[in-house]
Structure 1
Amino acid sequence: MRTPQVVVVMGVAGTGKTTIGPLLAARLGVPYAEGDDFHPQANIDKMTAGTPLEDADRWPWLDAIGRWAHGRAGLGGVVSSSALKRSYRDRLRAEAPGAVFVHLTGSRELIESRMSQRQGHFMPTALLDSQFATLQPLQADEAGVAVDVSGSPEEITERAAEALAAFAAASA
């Protein structure tokens, strides 16, 4: 399978970006970057306190992810980012025009259940409603695929890889 320049694994908190991202990167044979690692400490502090980020908070974070993606142009890579709004994805594409998005989707109940089981993450389940309220799913003119998050991480990764392969074949 031809690897896109960069794959951005996106979705609301709790969809499995941090789990699926590295698995997908390994499957594609490219490096993985954890989007949360690009957050400035002020963003982490805000989310830890249960306060949703505003767009002004997100711009520097998205720019840092975009710079990483730009540096992977022609080499490929996988990075996680909630990328909930079209404007956020547009900002990432401005830096990395060849980026392809994998939108991890699932029911609110499933995602909340998974969030409540994870440990050591700064994003509380209390912010899940704000994530869903902000979410603007991929639009038909955006390079990307939607992948359901039910099942095991390996099953989700397989669906993502197959969807990316089909997308690449249709785009060729």
Structure 2
Amino acid sequence: MVDVRRGGRSRLAVLGAVAVLALAPAVAACSDNGGGKSGGTTSSSPASPSSPPTADRPTDPAAAKAQITRNWTAFFDPKTPVAEKVKLLENGEQMRPVLGAFAGDKNAAMTSAKVTGIEFTSATGANVTYDLLVGGAPALTGSQGTSVLQDNTWKVSVKTLCGLVELSGVTVPGC
């Protein structure tokens, strides 16, 4: 028999933070109509843009990894304003209602992420391994997500955000 309390309070806090994304009324208004492809969003990032990519990886993988790490850290930082998170999320404008709802949740205010690994899958995509932290303590270690190069900025993918929403067991339109 599996102990459903394994992970304790921190796991429940993570799931609570994720659940607010799925349960917010504004969520129904968002979708990834771009199918995960670059949208028309123009944005800047706290990190400098990456060099033009080559066929199988970015021209400067070290700079791209540094930008991915900075942007993921900022995206999952509860102190980062929604307007900045929109710039760090693939198709961020379409997902603004979700981000706004997430920003107001007390569980989300305790949740952050630490990037532990990055592997490029193409010039514009990367697999990201990260730990989801609650109050600074690891709650979900070794989590897998993806980053995409959109508008010359490495961003958290909608696929990753939707994967976290799915942890709550709720289906969200557009995910």
Please indicate, yes or no, whether the TM-score normalized by the shorter chain is above 0.5.
Answer: no
Give the structure, 1 or 2, with the largest relative contact order (CA under 8 Å, sep 6 or more): 1
TM-score by length of 1: 0.29
- Structure in which a larger fraction of residues adopt helix: 1
Which of these two proteins has the greater Rg computed from alpha carbons?
2
Higher share in strand: 2
